[in-house]
Amino acid sequence: MESLTIIQPDDWHLHLRDGEALKAVLPHTVRQFARAIAMPNLQPPVRNLADATAYRDRILAALPHSATFEPLMTLYLTDNTSPDDIVAASESGFVKAVKYYPAGATTNSDSGVTDISKCDVVFKAMESVDLPLLLHGEVTDRHVDIFDRERAFIENYLIDLRSKFPKLRIVLEHVTTSDSVEFVLSSDNTAATITPQHLLLNRTSIFQGGLRPHFYCLPILKRETHREALLEAATSGNPKFFLGTDSAPHARNRKESFCGCAGCYSALHAMELYAEAFESVNALDKLEAFASFHGPDFYKLPRNTGTITLTKQSWTIPRELPFPDSPLVPLRAGEDIEWKVTEGRV
């Protein structure tokens, strides 16, 4: 296949940051995606409708001239989130989900939930107004091996949560293991997003020829058998799996440092990376549904009507991109990639 035209995709998991960083990264997403679920892990986080309204206004103000792009807002669940916060957010029409981070799990998660069992009234409210719950599904107990934290979250919390709130729509974000794939497949009202790095790389990649800080994200890359399970799920055509890049920009000096930040930057070339992953198993015909249909269907939103075209054309991923203070290094910087978005919103 030399070119592929598909309905405009959306990114169902994206970190846009704020201020100058937001201005630096937003044009990349807008080139490829019509909408994106904007993660709320700012500092301070997006905790309620007022915060979400203000953040949405800042995103819209940062849009390149004449760009049409719809930010889909999320609230950050804290120990203090109330059912009233949920109802108000849901009535706004533009808050589309609530994000759960276990306290301390990842970047800017200090305000996250310290005890998920205290959130039952909030989950009940979300279930009744039908507002989806997005999970960073990892335990934070430092005695649990980092490669086992996703599976432990399923066993220790998710099975129980799923059965307590059967109608609550849940997205298990950035799944990294076959355990998560199996859980999603066997649970009603449950879906998952999958990132390009978890489809293309495994945990050995982090140490390929030396330590690769730009392959460090959370949940961390897992072993090859898990990558294969994710690729099979993504290319299966099952509507429970859809695109969410988890593109998470951090300046180079914050990644290549004594204690580097977690996050891979993929907004620049997300669709090209997914195309490469799908092509590797001869499943390019399944890319459109994964990128453009399953997400809006799960979120009960209309599918997009425009199109984008990917063309088989080799180009080199830049070594770095402009970013405040220190440059931004995209995923697989300096390497060639065989697909290019050539038409659409480019």
Site string for ligand DOR, 14-33 (x = CB under 6 A): -x------------------
CB of 289 to ligand DOR, least distance (A): 26
Q: Is 62 in the site for ligand DOR (CB under 6 A)?
A: no
State the binding partner of 187 from ligand DOR, Zn ion, none, CB within 5 to 8 A by kind.
none
Q: Is 217 in the site for ligand DOR (CB under 6 A)?
A: yes
State the binding partner of 262 from ligand DOR, Zn ion, none, CB within 5 to 8 A by kind.
ligand DOR
Task: Give whichever of 15 and 162 is closer to ligand DOR, judged by the CB atom.
Answer: 15
Q: Is 272 in the site for Zn ion (CB under 5 A)?
A: no
Lookup result for tokens 């695109």: 243
Task: Give whichever of 215 and 298 is closer to ligand DOR, judged by the CB atom.
Answer: 215
Task: Give whichever of 274 and 339 is closer to Zn ion, judged by the CB atom.
Answer: 274
State the binding partner of 107 from ligand DOR, Zn ion, none, CB within 5 to 8 A by kind.
ligand DOR
Q: Is 206 in the site for ligand DOR (CB under 6 A)?
A: no
Find the part of the chain contacting Zn ion (CB under 5 A) among 55-63, 87-95, 213-221, 241-249: 241-249
Task: Give whichever of 67 and 262 is closer to ligand DOR, judged by the CB atom.
Answer: 262
Site for ligand DOR in 85-124 (CB under 6 A): 106-107
State the binding partner of 217 from ligand DOR, Zn ion, none, CB within 5 to 8 A by kind.
ligand DOR
Q: In this structure, what is the dihedral angle of CA atoms 301, 302, 305, 310, given to the nearest 10 degrees?
A: 40
Pairing of strands 95-100, 133-135: parallel
Task: Give whichever of 85 and 246 is closer to ligand DOR, judged by the CB atom.
Answer: 246
- The span from the CA of 269 to the CA of 202, in Å, is 19
Q: Is 150 in the site for Zn ion (CB under 5 A)?
A: no
CB of 195 to ligand DOR, least distance (A): 9
Q: Is 11 in the site for Zn ion (CB under 5 A)?
A: no
Q: How far is CA 62 from CA 19, 55, 121, 125, 332, in A?
A: 9, 11, 36, 33, 27
Strand order in the sheet with 3-7: 3-7, 307-316, 336-343
Q: Which of 51, 246, 272, 276 binds Zn ion (CB under 5 A)?
A: 246
- The span from the CA of 270 to the CA of 272, in Å, is 5
Find the part of the chain contacting Zn ion (CB under 5 A) among 1-9, 45-53, 222-230, 242-250: 242-250
Would the CA dihedral through 190, 195, 196, 202 be positive or negative? negative
Task: Give whichever of 105 and 310 is closer to Zn ion, judged by the CB atom.
Answer: 105
Task: Give whichever of 41 and 178 is closer to ligand DOR, judged by the CB atom.
Answer: 41
Residue 65 neighbours by CB distance under 10 Å: 4
Q: Is 248 in the site for ligand DOR (CB under 6 A)?
A: yes
Cβ-proximal residues to 294 (8 Å cutoff; 6+ apart), any chain: 191, 239, 240, 241, 242
CB of 13 to Zn ion, least distance (A): 6
Would the CA dihedral through 309, 312, 315, 317 be positive or negative? positive
- The span from the CA of 71 to the CA of 93, in Å, is 12
Catalytic residues: 246
Residue 160 neighbours by CB distance under 10 Å: 12
Residues at the site binding ligand DOR, with contacts judged by CB under 6 A: 15, 41, 106-107, 136, 217-218, 248, 262-263
Residues at the site binding Zn ion, with contacts judged by CB under 5 A: 246
